[in-house]
Structure 1
Amino acid sequence: MVSVFKGWPVAGRAFWQPTSHSTSEASSLSMSLQEHGLHFFRSAVARVLPGPMLKRALVLEPGGCPRLVLHGQPFELRRNLYLVGFGKAVLGMAAAAEDILGDYLSRGIISVPQGIQETLQHTGRRVILLKPQSRIQVMEGAKHNLPDRAAMKAASAIRNLAKCLMAEDLLLVLISGGGSALLPAPIPPVTLKEKETITKMLASKGATIQELNTIRKALSLLKGGGLAQAAYPAQVLSLILSDVIGDPLDIIASGPTVASSHSTQDCFQILAKYDMLNTLPESVQSVLSGSVTGCATPKDYSHVFNVVIGSNRLALEEAKSQAENLGYLTMVLSDAVCGEVSTVAHLYSLLIQLICLSVTRVSGIDPLKDKVKAALFNLEAQLAIPGLSCMETLKTLQEFQVERPVCLLAGGETTVQLQGNGKGGRNQELVLRVAMELHKTKSTEGGSFLEKYEVVFLSGGTDGQDGPTEAAGAFCSQEMVAEAEREGFSIETFLRNNDSYTFFTQFQSRRHLLITGLTGTNVMDIHAVLIRARSG
């Protein structure tokens, strides 16, 4: 564990473990907004750790007629229980499942990210690791969250296990974010390399996770319900940790146990949207065209029971509870924030401005307030983020007292349209863009109202990894850009090159980076806006 500034846990102590200090200590005036924000983030992650979530959802009832109870639904056990899993959080889920199931578990195979066992061992997260005598085989792959031959080998082993099951067998399937890359099984003649190339091209053009997984499903033997069909007629129980906005079962990990709700025509529309139809490999054209003209019979999914056991909403509700305990006027804006990072950053900037303007006791600011409000509502309509209502937020803020701090929480997953070749992730770039927006506002005529308030914005991935970096995300104050420019940094240059991580590592000794290490869970990102009046 890396300690990056005062208030972080010391090295060797798990970032997500509950702290020993009381609520009154956490709310001490000596604590900064950054420390409060990190407390909320840590609490949110702790609420969705895979082990505790799985143990809340899955219960073993031993006895003469042992049963496995999943969310109140009982399933009879005859020592015929098998387990498969894939995703960034599956290692911890599998360890918890084996603790529950004991000798009833016959065999298991899980596909997890390359190097995760060594990393967790090194950072003291042994509770997530399987015991030496485990009946579950761990296979690592998908380095940098991209499908590779190691992940393909794991997918093949999982498929072979599923295909050998009989009607009296029961298959427990553990699914979390990252599962798509960890379960690659392209339909011949599509090769793994061709599928990887298409995925990388779509991602670089700003495709959403929904669009990426729609394409993945159409080209896969196991996604889009393929695993459930391979396991038929065995009973399939699927426990899902959602990392997708709205928790759509057929999109999370590309829906290996769910009938696809997308047609091949949807795939062609996505590829056309990103101008990729004319560059498709012949094999991909063949598979997609074959799906269009084929007359496949409807598949039976009555043997499948899918349950979402954890989501971004659960994490946000825990953060909200913690913030309210510390005296913040707290609102969850949405758990479905999406859109290109520059647009989302502008939304947050306008919202911060409007909150500060709404409580500023200065004459002559009404025209500026009306201008910001109009811009905010127009942008809200443009983004169409589910659950977001700036009008409702403003109504709630009418209760706001100058001496009472505000905490706005949101979750979801933004997208970055790559223009440069720098190093970063969507959370770090979002934070840097919000900082730049606030800096520009302060530099304009009438922008001095922001000086009356402390403002901190935090954005972090709950899995502990933001893009190909060691950071989960970052945070900023409204003074950060001015301080960086005084030290000779050109923020615009870093943003043009998508190089947010490089900026944060060079500026003020990494003090603005959010570094947690791998958390063992994955429910998208957490955003937090914290505002309070300056003392004096």
Structure 2
Amino acid sequence: MARVLSLFRPSSLLVRSSLCCRMSLDSRAREVFGAAVEAVQPNIVVRRSIERKEDSILIDGRSFMLRHNLHLVGFGKAVLGMAAEAERILGDHLVKGVISVPHGIQETLRHHGKEQMLLKNGSSIKVMEGAKHNLPDADAQNAAECIKQLASELTETDLLLVLISGGGSALLPAPIPPISLQEKQDVTRKLAGAGATIQELNTVRRALSLLKGGRLAHCAYPAQVIALILSDVIGDPLDLIASGPTVSSQVCSEDVWAILERYKVCPSLPDSIKEVLGRPSPLGQERKEQSDSTGHVLNAVIGSNSIALQCAGNRARELGFRPVVLSPGVCGDVRAVSRLYGLLGRFASSQHAPPPELVAEVLKVGPEVGVHSWDLHRVMRVLDEARTEGWGATCVLAGGEPTVELTGKGRGGRNQELALRVALEFRGMHLPPKGPVFLSGGTDGQDGPTEAAGAVTDGGLWEEAQAQGLDIDGTISNNDSFTFFSQLSDGQRLLVPGLTGTNVMDVHMLIIPSLPTNT
């Protein structure tokens, strides 16, 4: 026991013991999820990233002088809250701003009591709403034009603060004339339908855009550009978040043509796109111009799934768990993802050393869903120590964005379906009180077209559903997980935090209770 005690101060042990007695595993899982979301709130990440001095700001280790010379632009689902906090910090040094945010977000935030995410009366920042249903539209294009105009008017004595979050690509549509917004949408939709990867889609988008692929930063040259980025993409690749408007792109027209030909889109291309891609000035000259201005750009990721998981782990430890992070990059079909969590649950629940074939299957499934083998070995080692050395409950944390193949017409989302599928994987596991507990939730508070962010399940769910006459297999085939959880136990398994105002993908949590002492 000496090794266990060394991780906690005596006072912490008393708190932990008290909490364990008073809170169920389900309640503690929800607390840990809440800590993950709180860590990446827009106002918190901005406040954490900007250190205000009397006449300067310090960001990512670099100092910038303030001389009433700071301008602000932003685009994304979380940008309104980011802008409100930035204005509080910067005061009257902020001269002017324009942000492009989702349609209806101001009213929605007021309705949910998120006043701290709204701009004050008399703000110098203009809020423009658009991208209804998360699709580029005329309102978003108008906002993009205003952002471009602001950036283009800056001089070498100015600072441009760029706020970026998930959803920013749809909120910054600016096709190169004479391409229309509809024409650009049509070609990207055809590519997506033909199976183009996200990298290929972004290559084409950037080539057809006035602002993506580093072109916004190029518009602002020679002003200093500082981009604060709240990432909703696995691995935080700067060029993919909102299609990288402040990140210099290395794309040439030949690459774009190759993608269009690969997916047989060329015959249906409108003349406007052919004209833009066929212009004699290839992107090589632009690449040189962008490289000349890259020293005037600072890109800083200030919020991400990794940060959310780190803070979730801290809260898990306070609540009596031994936390371990599996990966912030879980992806792929929910069927394979649920299989991995089921296998890890069985590994941790083994009364004796897990059989080699179980370990082999974990190592096979993990890479299929974006989890490296060394991370799997590391987590299995922790779970094995919990079993053999008498550790308490273990909390395995992960994040990412799995996908669901739609086969039905029910109501649900990837998090609720993942939780339901994991519960099936847990069937037959006998750990007190109901086997392992699993939580999956979207950090934006919304999972598909429902008011839930996800759900919490455990090893007793299958028996509970059977007792209530609910058909789990039929629910899954109809993608109707929200209806299922709403009917089960009066909806108490649903995770409903409300609109959070942020988004860093999803949080997954696998909690393994303490094994019985006779093991």
Coarse TM-score class (shorter-chain normalised) = 0.7 to 0.9
Corresponding residue to 1:303 among 296, 301, 307: 296
Distance 1:449 1:201, change over 3 A: farther
Q: Quote the Cα distance in structure 1 between the aligned partners of 2:380 and 2:144.
A: 49
- Select between 456-465 and 475-484 the one with higher mean Cα deviation: 475-484
Equivalence for 1:135: 124
Equivalence for 1:474: 455
The letter for the 1-side match of 2:172 is: L
Contact 1:460 1:526 in 2 (8 A): yes
Corresponding residue to 2:38 among 46, 69, 78: 46
Written as runs of structure 1 = structure 2, the 5 A alignment for 1:137-216 is 137-197=126-186, 210=199, 212-216=201-205
| 2:232 counterpart of 1:243 | yes
Contact 1:117 1:129 in 2 (8 A): yes
Equivalence for 1:36: 28
Measure how far apart 1:240 and its partner are: 0.9
Contact 1:316 1:411 in 2 (8 A): yes
Q: Secondary structure at the match of 2:174?
A: coil
Q: Quote the Cα distance in structure 2 between the aligned partners of 1:151 and 1:389.
A: 41
Q: Secondary structure at the match of 1:256?
A: coil
Equivalence for 2:70: 81
| 2:509 counterpart of 1:528 | yes
| 2:492 counterpart of 1:511 | yes
Equivalence for 1:58: 50
Q: Which runs of 5+ in 2 are unaligned?
A: 1-13
Q: Which runs of 5+ in 1 are unaligned?
A: 1-21, 443-447
Distance 1:100 1:126, change over 3 A: same
Measure how far apart 1:285 and its partner are: 6.0
Q: Quote the Cα distance in structure 2 between the aligned partners of 1:120 and 1:23.
A: 35
- Select between 282-291 and 492-501 the one with higher mean Cα deviation: 282-291
Q: Secondary structure at the match of 2:444?
A: coil
Measure how far apart 1:308 and its partner are: 1.2
Measure how far apart 1:503 and its partner are: 2.9
Q: Deviation string for 1:218-269 (max 9, x for gaps)?
A: 3322111121111122111111111111111111111000012556666677
Contact 2:416 2:482 in 1 (8 A): yes
Q: Quote the Cα distance in structure 1 between the aligned partners of 2:38 and 2:121.
A: 26
Q: Deviation string for 1:465-510 (max 9, x for gaps)?
A: 2233322222212222332244343333332333333333343332
Q: Secondary structure at the match of 1:528?
A: strand
Q: Quote the Cα distance in structure 2 between the aligned partners of 1:154 and 1:245.
A: 27
Measure how far apart 1:524 and its partner are: 1.5
| 2:371 counterpart of 1:382 | no
Q: Deviation string for 1:91-131 (max 9, x for gaps)?
A: 11111111111111111011111221111111211111110
Q: Deviation string for 1:402-451 (max 9, x for gaps)?
A: 67111100111222333344433222222122223333xx3xxxxx5567
Contact 2:50 2:58 in 1 (8 A): yes
Q: Secondary structure at the match of 1:489?
A: coil
Distance 1:384 1:137, change over 3 A: closer
Measure how far apart 1:145 and its partner are: 2.0
Corresponding residue to 1:429 among 412, 417, 426: 417
| 2:77 counterpart of 1:96 | no
Contact 2:175 2:209 in 1 (8 A): yes
Measure how far apart 1:41 and its partner are: 0.6
Equivalence for 1:5: none
| 2:479 counterpart of 1:498 | yes
Measure how far apart 1:136 and its partner are: 0.5
| 2:215 counterpart of 1:226 | yes
Q: Quote the Cα distance in structure 1 between the aligned partners of 2:413 and 2:189.
A: 15
Distance 1:346 1:32, change over 3 A: same
The letter for the 2-side match of 1:47 is: A
| 2:347 counterpart of 1:354 | yes
Q: CA RMSD in A?
A: 3.0
TM-score by length of 2: 0.87
Q: Quote the Cα distance in structure 2 between the aligned partners of 1:172 and 1:220.
A: 21
Equivalence for 1:457: 438
Corresponding residue to 2:323 among 294, 312, 330: 330
Q: Quote the Cα distance in structure 1 between the aligned partners of 2:74 and 2:257.
A: 30
| 2:314 counterpart of 1:321 | yes
Q: Quote the Cα distance in structure 2 between the aligned partners of 1:375 and 1:59.
A: 48
**Structure 1 vs Structure 2: percent identity of aligned residues?**
49
Equivalence for 1:416: 404
Q: Quote the Cα distance in structure 2 between the aligned partners of 1:214 and 1:510.
A: 43
